[in-house]
Amino acid sequence: MVSPSHPNGTEIGRLDGKVVVVTGASKGIGKATAFAFAAAGAKVVLAARTRETLEQVAVALKKNGAQALAVPTDVTSVDAVKQLIQQTLDVYQHVDILINNAGIGHFGPVVDFEPDDWDAVLNSNLKAVYLCAKYALPSMLEQGSGQIINVLSVAAKVTFQASSAYCAAKAGALALTKVLASEVRQQNIRVTAVLPGSVHTPFWDGVPEHPDFEQMLTPEHVADTIVSVCQQPPGMVTEEIVVMPPLGIL
């Protein structure tokens, strides 16, 4: 059976030779996204803080025949992000796609929320998006193409009690995404915000009261959405996409 192709002759759905950096790649959406990109033929660079789990993902990808590079990274650190991108360039010479997925959540009412927790949430969900984009962009600008996808949350648009820092960070990251898109669109770099609803991931492990896991999206739902955006043909941009469970906000 012959696979369908675009008019320019490229096979639909294939990302062969593309170099993809995925943050938060050791679990949840990031891990599922890494596997989805590998299945489409991409070379995957895995970034997360925990070396052991990150290397386990890399080993599993390689067993499936994928090219994978694990780079333990604190994406809130300037030096660590610089090293992530430099190591990617040393091994693969360029960066085609950046998936900003890493992020944490601390929750509680404003009056009880600790400043250190506030800083941690803003740094991981907002500052890290800026840092990774900043240092990945020179490679994309040099080659005249690229894709940045920021995995955010419906919390960027819908507020929830006891989620002030998380909502503020995601809303800020959505604004950052829009500004970045306007700055680099003329250089053939596509920037997309993906806003999932509730997803059954380890994110909920520390939340005592949570929606029904059975009603949530799976990490694979979001991963497939992310990859499909990168598979879209030249000449179009999906700037924002909301992915929700069938029952909506849980």
CA 23 to CA 71: how far, in whole Å? 10
Task: Say whether 166 is catalytic.
Answer: yes
Q: Beginning with the edge strand found earlier in the chain, give each strand of the sheet holding 68-72 in spatial order.
A: 68-72, 43-48, 19-23, 97-100, 146-151, 189-196, 240-243
106, 139, 152 from 165: Cα distances, Å: 8, 32, 13
Calculate Rg over the CA atoms of the chain: 18
4, 45, 48, 171, 226 from 73: Cα distances, Å: 38, 11, 5, 24, 22
Q: CA neighbours within 13 Å on the CB side: how many for 24?
A: 26
CA 16 to CA 5: how far, in whole Å? 14
Active-site position among 92, 130, 135, 166: 166
Give the SS3 label for residue 184: helix
93, 159, 188 from 131: Cα distances, Å: 20, 25, 20
CA 71 to CA 47: how far, in whole Å? 5
Length in residues, the chain? 250
What distance separates the 2 farthest-apart alpha carbons in the chain?
62
8 Å CB contact between 22 and 131: no
User: What residues are annotated to the active site?
Assistant: 166
